[in-house]
Amino acid sequence: MAGIAGLFHFDGRPCDRALLERFAASLGHRAEAGIAYRTNGPAGLATLRMRPASAMRGHPPEAATVDAPLVAFDGRIDNRSALLDRLGTRAEDCPEEEQLVAALLARFGERILPDILGDFAFAVWNPGERTLLLARDVSGVRPLCYYDDGTTLFFASEMSAIFSLPSFRPVVNERKVAQYLVASMQDRDETVYRGVMRVPPAHLVVASLRSTSVRRYFDFDVSSTLRYQTDREYAGHFLDLLRESLKARLPEGERCGAELSGGLDSSSIVCTAAALGRSIEAFSLVFPGLRCDESEEIDLVARHANVKSHRFTPTPRTRDDLDGEIDRIHDVPDAPNGAMHDGVYRQVTSSGIRILLAGLGGDDLFDAVWNRSAALEALACAEARRWFRDFDAGDLFLGGRDLLARTWMGTLVRPIWRRVRPPRGVPWILPATSTLASGDGTSDRQPHEFRTATRLATHESATAPWLQYTLECVERSAARRGIALRFPFLDRRIVQFAISVPQEQRSKLGIDRYVVREAMRGILPERTRTRTTKAEFGVVFNRELQVVVDDSLELGVLDRWVETSVLDGELRTYLASLRRDPQAMTQWGWQFWESLAVCAWLNRLFPKVG
């Protein structure tokens, strides 16, 4: 499967089949092998298939009876055997994920959802209760959005499908636009259009003839503490989890691909998959002549794993490319460091490969940046030996700052600190825009529930809106090329492991991401396993800024959010510095890009919004 779509009439009238088919057909690029439609009363569901049934498990589901639940499923279930055992059912009785989900919900109801492992988005219409249920996986790997026009609820794997509806009139969501402009995503459910919503990861949307509600069905156990006697036990546990994650995401006997940057995460995936005997090929971005080129590291890993290596050199998008992307996705265009992967996706498709692994998530879960919070905790616990071994004064200062920001103390201290030292924001952002963009944080839970600041930080990283945004962008781009992206580090079991392990497994003896490096002994080349540097892709932003900025980009559409004269001046100054040094860096790279991306989107779809 590669997507779902559907509708539910709140007034109870029979499903408009013609409307359903037009709506689902707008996502035709996800339906290379066709679309399966099912209707019952006021509900209609569509499953978009990227691969023919012969290439999938079993056969397409049989036609449902009048009283049977209707299911549209997109994604993958990793613990099928365990779930079938709980049902007491044979695998041949539920050959498709849709049938398995229907059987599980019929037997156990919503309480079974936390026990389903995998990447998925699905819709279930229950004729008996006359309710529509929308659910999304824990990390938000599979996308799902919905729109309520007052009489009908529409849902789809991509927001662009909403634009095919005759009743839809797009209205700018100024709060979300403000978040783009300050480069600080604060929520998981809103989009840039008022009324068009995402199903948040690990959440349900339940719609009936009377109401619609949203509720969380899963959260990680932040009280769990994993304690072993030796470092090797932690490393062995992580390696077992990574192997299980890879086995679930790489079908035996099928050629699969993996992105290989030469860094720790992607290299760990490629080498571990190759050691498992999976048929894996590496796909890499290279940048000849630039500081971010990692060709030597890529060559080293590819030779070590004995895998076929494919290379692609990206080029900056033009203004026409951006306009075409906006017309296609009806959204703010993807950032350059994400969009540059589209050439790799084309190369993967031309190689006949449909499954591609990516290393996204490893940095977020195991990065030693949380060392600074751990430094304060170690000092408070009088762990002098560990303090002198693993930390320095800078960690203590930054840790104190982070701890204040992440706890209730921050609400008391922050106003006083701002009077003493006013915040230095993005120069061109209006104060009202910063206020509009701000939210109440990325965690649903109270800081006191987390025992340690590093545990809080890891949980926030695993559930961050920016991670969800990135996943949706890359999934959308890959789906356009007929590719299923899979992210081994975002396996729910690995995320829980990262939350539960002691901080010293992230950083020890001056070695960051300690547990991952220990697990990769003998699997990675030693130079790759111990390297502490990684490529910086700011130059990719620079190249695209230089190409995109021209006199036809009307900054005036941003007037209600930014001081356009200040933005124009800062941008021209920076571009002049790039003409002297194409690899110059600025602290405002993300904000420059987001301002121009939002500007291009508004110019294309809302030219009079300013």
Name the residue ranges covered by the structural domains of the chain. 3-173+185-216, 220-534, 538-605
Q: Over 60: is that where the pLDDT of 410 sits? A: no
Rounded-to-integer distance, Cα 3 and Cα 120, Å:
10
User: What pLDDT does 412 receive?
Assistant: 52
Bridge partners of 216, per DSSP, are 203
DSSP secondary-structure letter at 194?
T
Residues 337, 540: contact at Cβ < 8 Å?
yes
Radius of gyration of the chain (CA): 24
DSSP per-residue letters across 384-431? HHHHHHH--HHHHHHHHHHHHHHSTHHHHHHHHHHHHS-----TTB-H
Q: Angle at the Cα of 316 (from 310 to 319), degrees rounded to 5?
A: 140
CATH, domain 220-534, list 3.40.50.620, 1.50.10.10, 2.40.128.690, 3.10.20.30? 3.40.50.620
Beta strands in 141-251 (DSSP E): 145-148, 152-156, 196-198, 203-208, 212-216
* Mean pLDDT, rounded, for 407-430: 61
User: What pLDDT does 97 receive?
Assistant: 92
Q: What percent of the chain has pLDDT over 90?
A: 68
DSSP secondary-structure letter at 333?
P
* Mean pLDDT, rounded, for 265-282: 97
Rounded-to-integer distance, Cα 361 and Cα 166, Å:
39
Type and span of the H or E element at 180:
helix 174-181
Residues 259, 314: contact at Cβ < 8 Å?
no
Residues 499, 243: contact at Cβ < 8 Å?
no
Tell me the whole-structure pTM to 2 decimals. 0.90
Q: Over 60: is that where the pLDDT of 401 sits? A: no
Nearest to 244 by CA among 78, 74, 356, 484: 78
Annotate 245-280 with three-state secondary structure.
Answer: HHHHHCCCCCCEEEECCCCHHHHHHHHHHHHCCCCE
User: What pLDDT does 503 receive?
Assistant: 78
Q: How far is CA 198 from the centre of its chain?
A: 13
Q: Over 90: is that where the pLDDT of 506 sits? A: no
Rounded-to-integer distance, Cα 469 and Cα 395, Å:
29
Q: Over 60: is that where the pLDDT of 419 sits? A: no
Q: Over 60: is that where the pLDDT of 447 sits? A: no
Nearest to 545 by CA among 503, 591, 512, 493: 591
User: What pLDDT does 608 receive?
Assistant: 55
47 burial (CB, 10 Å; 0-12 / 13-18 / 19+) is buried
* Mean pLDDT, rounded, for 28-57: 85
Residues 53, 59: contact at Cβ < 8 Å?
yes
In CATH, what class is 3-173+185-216?
Answer: alpha beta
Rounded-to-integer distance, Cα 269 and Cα 271, Å:
6
Residues 453, 210: contact at Cβ < 8 Å?
no
Structure tokens at 112: 């079974």
Least confident piece of the model among 28-37, 150-159, 507-516: 507-516
Bridge partners of 8, per DSSP, are 43, 153
Structure tokens at 166: 């005759």
Confidence of residue 51 (pLDDT cuts 50, 70, 90): confident
Least confident piece of the model among 45-49, 293-297, 578-582: 578-582
For 340-390, the pLDDT digits (tens) are: 999 999 999 999 999 999 999 998 898 755 555 565 555 555 556 555 555
Contacts of 388 (CB under 8 A, 6+ apart): none
User: What pLDDT does 551 receive?
Assistant: 57
Which residue has 């026990």 as its token pair?
Answer: 115
Nearest to 151 by CA among 166, 135, 171, 136: 166
Helix (H, G, I), strand (E, B), or coil: what is residue 61?
coil
Structure tokens at 580: 């002297």
* Mean pLDDT, rounded, for 522-539: 92
**Number of helices and strands (H, E) in the chain?**
24, 18
User: What pLDDT does 63 receive?
Assistant: 43
User: What pLDDT does 402 receive?
Assistant: 55
User: What pLDDT does 444 receive?
Assistant: 59
The rounded mean pLDDT for the chain is: 87
220-534: same fold as 3-173+185-216? no
User: What pLDDT does 399 receive?
Assistant: 55
Output phi, psi for 2, to 5 deg: -135, 5
CA distances from 16 to 10, 19, 23, 45, 147 (A): 12, 5, 11, 11, 16
User: What pLDDT does 524 receive?
Assistant: 98
Q: What percent of the chain has pLDDT over 70?
A: 85
* Mean pLDDT, rounded, for 88-113: 91
User: What pLDDT does 358 receive?
Assistant: 97
Q: Over 80: is that where the pLDDT of 509 sits? A: no
Beta strands in 11-114 (DSSP E): 35-40, 43-48, 70-77
Structure tokens at 462: 């695993």
Phi-psi category of residue 409: left, alpha or beta, with phi > 0 → left and psi -120 to 50 → alpha: alpha
Least confident piece of the model among 410-414, 482-486, 521-525: 410-414
* Mean pLDDT, rounded, for 189-195: 96
Strand order in the sheet with 280-285: 308-312, 280-285, 256-259, 355-357, 484-486
Q: Which amino acid, 379? A: L
User: What pLDDT does 472 receive?
Assistant: 96
Helix (H, G, I), strand (E, B), or coil: what is residue 146?
strand
Nearest to 253 by CA among 277, 225, 230, 283: 277
Return the sign of the alpha-carbon dihedral for residues 6, 465, 437, 451.
positive
Residues 302, 282: contact at Cβ < 8 Å?
yes
Q: Over 60: is that where the pLDDT of 260 sits? A: yes
Alpha helices in 330-392 (DSSP H): 336-339, 342-350, 362-366, 371-380, 384-390
**In this structure, are strands 3-9 and 43-48 parallel, antiparallel, or unpaired?**
antiparallel
Confidence of residue 330 (pLDDT cuts 50, 70, 90): very high
Rounded-to-integer distance, Cα 592 and Cα 588, Å:
6
* Mean pLDDT, rounded, for 509-527: 93
